[in-house]
Structure 1
Amino acid sequence: MTDDQGDELAHVLTAVGPRLRGLRQARGTTLAQLSETTGISTSTLSRLESGRRRPTLELLLPLARAHGVPLDELVGAPTIGDPRVRPRPFTRNGQTFIPLTRYLGGLHAYKHIIPPAPPERRNVRPEQRVHEGYEWLYILSGRLHLALGDHDLTLTAGEAAEFDTRTPHGFANPGETPVEAISIFGPQGERMHVRARTRAGR
């Protein structure tokens, strides 16, 4: 192996950790949950994400399966000139996410589809969660109930919101038709710059 090839390999391996962390955080998965799914210990997963453990095929294969992405996407294999993204939808908590970006480092975008809640849950405040990062939402259709900290907002088509995901937040669909939104998520410090228009009431 030449020095240039060695440098390229080192660069590829160094980038794997941030990709793994970004993908896990974007899907709201904890290290403990991922460990249960893959059989890889939480300490090993943590060292992989921080770059303190060298990624191997034996580790990356179950992680690619757990995240539902091709192996070459985890390692950042170079593109072959085709700019089209072939999304692989996944479902979490009954909501559908369609990836709109190819790579997992930095900002990544999803189309987010939230089905109507059962009638008995339409007035229930969404369960909130927190995680590292920053999120930007743009509503394409429907009505979205955003519970952000102590505030309750209703966002409709054409409205946008951005927030630090360390603030407790949750989403719900209070209407009778699906909500479709574009969601852009990034690490702390990377953000869009569109502010939500606060509506009176919910």
Structure 2
Amino acid sequence: MTTALDQVGPRLRAARRARAWTLDDLSRLAGVSASTLSRLESGKRQASLELLLPLTRALGIRIDDLLPAETVDPRVHRAVERRDGMVIAPLTLAHSPVQAVKIVYPARAGAPSPRVHDGYEWLYVLSGRVRLALDGAEHLIDPGEAAEFDTRLPHSISATADGPSEVLSIFSADGERFHTRVGDL
């Protein structure tokens, strides 16, 4: 397993090369021998504060820049929401710039009233049939089909009376705020 200290040498080398400096260039500026610097970069010498301080000063970087950022758990652990017969499962982290959700729409005889808001939306039908009322026209979208639209156009999304539908939706930040926090989907 690679440790944070194992990454110091390669990151130091990358910082040096990003400036197009040779080992001799950096060793002269930092007052560290070229052979010590070479061993440090290759992992054959353990990094110490005494070695890293003059090197990072010469490079104009912080010691923290030589250490990897803390790894964040990429898995999404967000609560499923149930509202108006729909099941809304968030598929992205809350702070993501774009939001993706899986929505199960219940069967519905008619389209809900259209809404307008800032944003953009893309949807993909996993199962069932979806009714997309968009700017006065009704579009039926079957499994395996996708649609995308500007949410400033009057629109509503629902399953048909034939049964529930399952949809993956991706929203811009403005669209996500509207669809998952207020109003009908």
The answer for the alignment partner of 2:79 in structure 1 is: 88
Cα root mean square deviation, aligned: 2.0
1:171 aligned residue: 157
For residue 100 of structure 1, what is the aligned residue in structure 2?
91
Give the structure 1 partner of residue 111 of structure 2: 125
Unaligned runs of 5+ in 2: 1-68, 175-185
Give, in angstroms, the shift of residue 127 of structure 1: 1.1
Q: Give % identity.
A: 42
The question of whether the paired residues in 1 share the 8 Å contact of 2:113 and 2:156 is answered with yes
Displaced runs of 4+ in structure 1, greater than 6 A?
none
Deviations 1:119-140 (A, max 9, x none): xxx1x33211111110000000
1:1-202 counterparts in 2 under 5 A? 81-117=72-108, 122=109, 124-187=110-173
User: Does the 8 Å CA contact 1:96/1:112 hold for their aligned counterparts?
Assistant: yes
| CA contact 1:132–1:187 (8 Å) conserved in 2 | no
- Contact in 1 for aligned 2:80/2:87 (Cα 8 Å): yes
**Inter-partner Cα distance in structure 2 for 1:79 and 1:154:** 46
Structure 1, unaligned runs of 5 or more: 1-77, 189-202
Instruction: Tell me the distance in 2 between the aligned counterparts of 1:115 and 1:93.
Output: 9
> Which structure has the greater CA radius of gyration?
2
Q: Note the C-alpha offset of 1:79.
A: 7.5
TM-score in terms of structure 2 length: 0.52
Q: Which amino acid aligns with 1:162?
A: E
Shift of 1:148: 0.3
The structural deviation recorded for 1:80 is 5.3
TM-score (norm 1): 0.48
